[in-house]
Amino acid sequence: MTTSSAILIIGSMAFDDLELPSGNERDVVGGSATYSAFAASCFAPVRTVAVVGDDFPEETLVAMRSRGISIEGVERAPGKTFRWAGRYDVDLIHRTTLDTQLNVFASFAPKLPETYRDTPFLLLGNIHPALQLDVLEQVRAPRFVLADTMNFWIEGEPKAVAAMLRRIDTLVVNDEEARQLSGKYNIRRAAKEILSRGPRRLIIKRGEHGALLFDEEGVFAAPGFPLEDVIDPTGAGDAFAGGLIGYLACQPEITPLALRRGMLHATATASFCVEAVGTRRIATVTRADIAARLTEIRALYEFGASTM
């Protein structure tokens, strides 16, 4: 049996309006913290910091609690929940943001419950970098800090993003964001540039093509898991981050090898997320589901390395 450390997740809890090739879906419960928390809860106890409006469904909070996710840090504020609207191309790879309404997040000043302040693992999900920093400062000496961000903040809040980069262990972004952040097209040069700005490690997500880890050992490539039925890619990146920090929270030490195995667990976790609209699948995924998919993912790599 492994013991696992607790994970603190800050991010958005939201309603998403999705235009998918399979049809339009309105008022889908989403948000980076929601997806990441469901994913991480397969591995370790999770504590969530976010704000929701009057309109956020109680049943989602109940479902989270039933997975061992503490929602003591989820504030319910008067007003509307954060809302994102997006349209996916028919290939389910490219997407366009149609609308972002911060709503109750506009005036959110997270105040961590005292019981949260010693959490060793910290996931700064995709949200305003000032909020990420605010939470980071309220946690006493975290062992490991993983952060996500997006084009919206890279463009609009470059100083806060830069300050955040100096304070974290590992940044996780997609390839477009890595190019935007670094100003470099070549992915290896982009990685070098970003690593020079603070984080010890960088993970570049490439959607269906998997993800790359850049660290002191070099580069590791996690494959994309080719699924026959991709329904909704929303939240896959958040589920990836949740799966990664979840796996790490179960390890005695955060070594390069643990990171590499974490990348594969993260891939397995995220692969469930896209199989249904919203959080429908990720909210019920189990550690056993992940273990089974991990076997399939390892087969993608099987070339008899030991006898080659």
- Is residue 206 at the binding interface for a copy of itself, with CB under 8 A as the rule? yes
Q: Could you please report the per-residue DSSP string of 100-135?
A: EE-GGGGG------GGGTT-SEEEE-SS-HHHHHHH
Q: Which is nearer to a copy of itself, 111 or 209 (CB)?
A: 209
**What six digits make up the tokens of 220?**
């590791």
Strand partners, 222: 211
- Is residue 90 at the binding interface for a copy of itself, with CB under 8 A as the rule? yes
Q: In terms of Cα–Cα distance, which of 216, 222, 223, 177 is closest to 195?
A: 216
- Is residue 94 at the binding interface for a copy of itself, with CB under 8 A as the rule? no
Q: In terms of Cα–Cα distance, which of 161, 266, 165 is closest to 220?
A: 266
Cα 111 to Cα 231: distance, rounded to the nearest angstrom: 36
Span from 2-10, 129-137, 153-161, 183-191 in contact with a copy of itself (CB under 8 A): 183-191
Span from 42-50, 60-68, 152-160, 219-227 in contact with a copy of itself (CB under 8 A): 219-227
Any idea which residue has 């010890």 for tokens? Answer: 200
Q: In terms of Cα–Cα distance, which of 19, 24, 12, 13 is closest to 98?
A: 19
- Is residue 244 at the binding interface for a copy of itself, with CB under 8 A as the rule? no
CB of 306 to a copy of itself, least distance (A): 6
Q: Which is nearer to a copy of itself, 24 or 306 (CB)?
A: 306
CB of 219 to a copy of itself, least distance (A): 6
Span from 36-44, 102-110, 140-148, 223-231 in contact with a copy of itself (CB under 8 A): 223-231
The burial class, CB within 10 Å (0-12 / 13-18 / 19+), for 92 is: middle
- Is residue 57 at the binding interface for a copy of itself, with CB under 8 A as the rule? no
Q: Are 261 and 213 in contact (CB under 8 A)?
A: no
- Is residue 280 at the binding interface for a copy of itself, with CB under 8 A as the rule? no
The site for a copy of itself (CB under 8 A) is made up of 90-92, 185-189, 206, 208-210, 212, 218-221, 223-224, 226-230, 257, 260-261, 263-264, 298-306, 308
